[in-house]
């Protein structure tokens, strides 16, 4: 949240945060630099270190140990993007999110703020594919469905992104969607599985296309 708030409060400072850490990569080497910044972040979590770690960690997948909250993702096999490339992304997202207010809150509390005519987009941990990621073991999709139903009753439009198909359409993911909660269902082709891309390096991914399912209350 600190990163997103800084994006609007002082985007040039956000760029400098990344550039300073990228300079350490060039001075110390990627692996040693990553270990140092990761250790510093785990000692005192902060947005300046995390924004770099997100760009340099393995697969861009940030993991935190449940026991102590430490970020445990190792360094990635790729080279972090340059400060120039990062700065371009900052400028793009600064413009795209103009007027946005970022808050840290439980999803049900945030959805309760919506009023008639508003649009809520939900992107929860996916039931079939992300049970070991994002703390999804403790996530209640049924509580999310209750919050969506409450929004619908108030005239708030809701779009939910959730599991669709895997293995190039051979598996339709089982999602316990309440009857009559959604009015439409749309499948979006996403291409090859990101997870399989890391697990099957050098092998064909033709059999691992995935789709997302968009469920709309209107």
Note whether residue 173 is domain-resident: yes
Going by DSSP bridges, is the β-strand pair 119-122/157-166 parallel, antiparallel, or unpaired?
parallel
CATH number of the domain within which 56 lies: 1.10.1020.10
Segment 41-79, tens digit of pLDDT: 999 999 999 999 999 999 888 888 888 889 999 999 999
**199 pLDDT above the threshold of 60:** no
Mean pLDDT over 139-165 rounds to 94
Cβ neighbours around 154 below 10 Å, total: 14
Is there a single domain that holds both residue 90 and residue 136? no
- Specify the pLDDT at position 209: 76
Write the DSSP assignment of 167-208 as a string of letters: TTTTEE----PPTTS-SEEEEEEEEE-HHHHHHTTTS--TT-
Is there a single domain that holds both residue 212 and residue 124? yes
Segment 130-143, tens digit of pLDDT: 555 555 567 888 99
Note whether residue 102 is domain-resident: no
Q: Total domain count for the chain?
A: 2
Residue 199 backbone phi and psi in degrees, to 5: -80, -25
Q: Give CA angle at 43 (123, 1), nearest 5°.
A: 30
Domain that holds residue 20: 2-96
Cα gap 7→11, rounded to integer Å: 5
Structural tokens at position 155: 């005239």
Is there a single domain that holds both residue 53 and residue 124? no
């Amino acid at each position: 949240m600190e990163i997103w708030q800084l994006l609007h409060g002082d985007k040039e400072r956000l760029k400098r945060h990344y550039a300073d850490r990228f300079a350490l990569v060039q001075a110390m080497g990627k692996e040693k630099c990553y270990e140092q910044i990761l250790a510093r972040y785990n000692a005192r979590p902060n947005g300046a270190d995390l924004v770099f770690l997100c760009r340099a960690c393995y697969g861009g997948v940030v993991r935190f140990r449940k026991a102590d909250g430490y970020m445990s993702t190792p360094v990635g096999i790729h080279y972090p993007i340059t400060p120039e490339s990062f700065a371009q992304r900052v400028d793009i997202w600064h413009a795209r999110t103009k007027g946005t207010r970022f808050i840290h809150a439980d999803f049900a509390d945030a959805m309760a703020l919506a009023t008639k005519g508003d649009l809520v987009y939900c992107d929860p941990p996916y039931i079939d594919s992300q049970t070991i990621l994002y703390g999804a073991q403790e996530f209640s999709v049924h509580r999310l469905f209750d919050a969506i139903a409450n929004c619908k009753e108030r005239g708030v439009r809701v779009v939910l992104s959730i599991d669709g198909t895997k293995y190039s359409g051979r598996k339709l993911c089982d999602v316990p969607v309440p009857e009559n909660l959604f009015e439409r269902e749309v499948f979006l082709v996403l291409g090859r599985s990101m997870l399989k891309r890391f697990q099957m390096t050098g092998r064909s991914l033709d059999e691992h296309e995935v789709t997302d399912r968009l469920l709309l209350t209107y």
